[in-house]
Amino acid sequence: MPEKLEHLENESVEPTQGDGETSTLRRREPLTRERILRAALRVMDEEGLEAVTMRRLGRELGVEAMSLYNHVEDKEAILDGILEVVMAEFQFPEETGDWEADVRAGARAWRRLMIDHPTVIALFAESKHPASSPERLRPMEWAFDLLGRGGLSEDEVVHAFRAFGGYIMGSVLNEVANPVPGMGDRDHHAEHVQLAGELPPTEFPNLVRLLPLMAECDAEVDFEFGLDLLISGLRAKVEASGA
Amino acid sequence: MPEKLEHLENESVEPTQGDGETSTLRRREPLTRERILRAALRVMDEEGLEAVTMRRLGRELGVEAMSLYNHVEDKEAILDGILEVVMAEFQFPEETGDWEADVRAGARAWRRLMIDHPTVIALFAESKHPASSPERLRPMEWAFDLLGRGGLSEDEVVHAFRAFGGYIMGSVLNEVANPVPGMGDRDHHAEHVQLAGELPPTEFPNLVRLLPLMAECDAEVDFEFGLDLLISGLRAKVEASGA
DNA sequence: TAGTCTATCCCTACGATGTAAGGTGTCAAC
DNA sequence: GTTGACACCTTACATCGTAGGGATAGACTA
């Protein structure tokens, strides 16, 4: 429903057509930080980070670039804002009482978020200030809460949070920067296989053998493998400290 | 020793001073793809990714921006090239025969590389093409070889590689994007603690309690924790499939 | 030695970027 | 009706990546 509105505005781009119509009551949907951020996220998802320019966002909203500055500090503020919007989309999984299953579901939810907006990884990698808005903090709070219910010490909760967070972040980064099929373009499959074929087999025997395998494997299965590793490691830790 | 040369060149910036001196034998160190990439890496390490511009690299090498195009295709090619140079720095740890210790050492070596050049994470996140140069592939080959000697199936080797790679990538990304003390600026410590103090404690009880803890924890210890998780998970997997 | 070739480098210019500074219009309150 | 606040527009600037085209110097031919 908000999309509808925004598309309508795309058509009211006529620049300063100062006829009598300008004096109608509702000239146009007023600009908002909210609307700017949503447009930015949409452009970023559809055309990548480099398409997100002030002029482009202005065009998208039927407004000149400079008008955006009445609602946001900076372009950087927009980029930070995108992270907010994305994090606000976090789908808190409902809890089952099975701790390991819940941790797994939480990790998947987090991954889903990044996969749905792959470019946010680049945003994270460039972002200057650490998270501070409630939207970005709420999923963290939830994760801490969940981890805390598994019998870990406070230190271990913090460490586990960063371990899982790191793994999720990184595996999505790898998946996005070095895509494998199962999700996304299949081009890279052929690319990998071809690369493996061209490599000098004496110098790169393992790559020659395993690169095609890697190209074949499904991204989600892959993610689950590492997740299993982490969770079984965590279980061992809990059992050890419990005994 | 190459650094010496490059610094000397910084001082020969005089633009087109067409006096008789131009006819001396060795006018200046000739430009090379190699030299361009090294300069780019240096600028990036010292002043961040946005300082890496064609004009800036030219200035750094005593040359006009456009001259760079005789040796590299694109700015993007330079960025890809930086990854090459960095990966060529990979310090292969010497192997001890203890598989787990070797895996651990490999992971640390990989992390060290990223920590020494934190901005490469952003490069990875934006890079279009997957790795293809031998410099970037050699550490991969080595890692595959190492993992393969632990009793894993080929599928498991691939999965383990991606799991460890993801974890390393992501934990460095988190460390760099959301720095904690122990390495780097201590400012963010105070920032975290202050943030925790300002948060509404009823909505964010865990963050209020754990954020200061997180700010205190050492990045390396943190990394080791996740590494332990992964390795002990892997051990369990090896034992299970061996039995 | 003179002439030509080719690689390397410089110069100029174009469109696009983020944003500072200041102008224009509209509406609410007096 | 006047005023002030606010949202928006216009113009202008420095800086970016890079296309196009000259200049120059060292190597090769004659």
CB B231 within 8 A of CB A163: no
Q: Which two tokens stand for residue A134?
A: 């409630």
Residue to substitute from B114, B126, B161, B195, interface A, most A β-carbons within 10 A: B126
Q: What percentage of chain A exceeds 70 in pLDDT?
A: 83
The 10 Å Cβ neighbour count of residue A23 is 8
The pLDDT of residue A2 is: 31
The three-state secondary structure class of A174 is helix
**CA nearest neighbour of B140 among A206, A215, A173:** A206
Q: How far is CA B12 from the centre of its chain?
A: 31
Q: Does A74 touch chain B (CB under 8 A)?
A: no
The DSSP symbol for B68 reads: G
Backbone phi, then psi, for B89, in 5-degree steps?
A: -80, -5
Q: Give pLDDT, residue A178.
A: 67
pLDDT value of residue B243: 61
- The predicted pLDDT at position A184 comes to 44
| Alpha helices per DSSP H over chain B | 2-11, 33-47, 54-61, 75-88, 99-116, 120-126, 134-148, 154-177, 187-198, 205-216, 219-242
On whether the CB atoms of residues A13 and A59 are closer than 8 A, the answer is yes
Q: pLDDT at position A30, please?
A: 79
Please name the member of B145, B166, B178 whose beta carbon is closest to the beta carbon of A170: B166
Q: Given this model, what pLDDT does residue A26 score?
A: 40
List, for residues B118-139, the tens digit of each pLDDT value: 999 999 988 877 777 888 899 9
pLDDT digit string (tens) for B184-202?
445 567 777 777 777 888 8
Q: What is the pLDDT of residues A75-116, one digit of tens each?
A: 999 999 999 999 999 999 999 999 999 999 999 999 999 999
pLDDT at residue B226, as a whole number = 97
> Taking the CB of residue B96, how many other CB atoms lie within 10 A of it?
10
The answer to whether strand C lies under 7 Å from the CB of residue B70 is yes
- Rounded to a whole number of angstroms, the CA Rg of chain B reads 23
Q: Using one digit for the tens of pLDDT, what is the confidence trace for A28-68?
A: 677 899 999 999 999 999 999 999 999 999 999 999 889 99
Nearest to A222 among B159, B177, B209 (CB): B159
Please name the residue that has the structure tokens 């963290």: A140
Q: How far is CA A117 from the centre of its chain?
A: 4
Interchain CB distance below 8 Å, A226 and B49: no
Interatomic CA–C1' length for residue A170 and nucleotide D15, angstroms: 33
DSSP for residue A119: T
User: Does the structure show a pLDDT above 60 at A133?
Assistant: yes
pLDDT of B181 above 90: no
> For residue A103, with 0-12 CB atoms within 10 Å meaning exposed, 13-18 middle and 19 or more buried, which class applies?
buried
Q: Does A121 touch chain B (CB under 8 A)?
A: yes
- How confident is the model at residue A183, as a pLDDT? 40
- Taking residues B143-164, what's their average pLDDT? 94
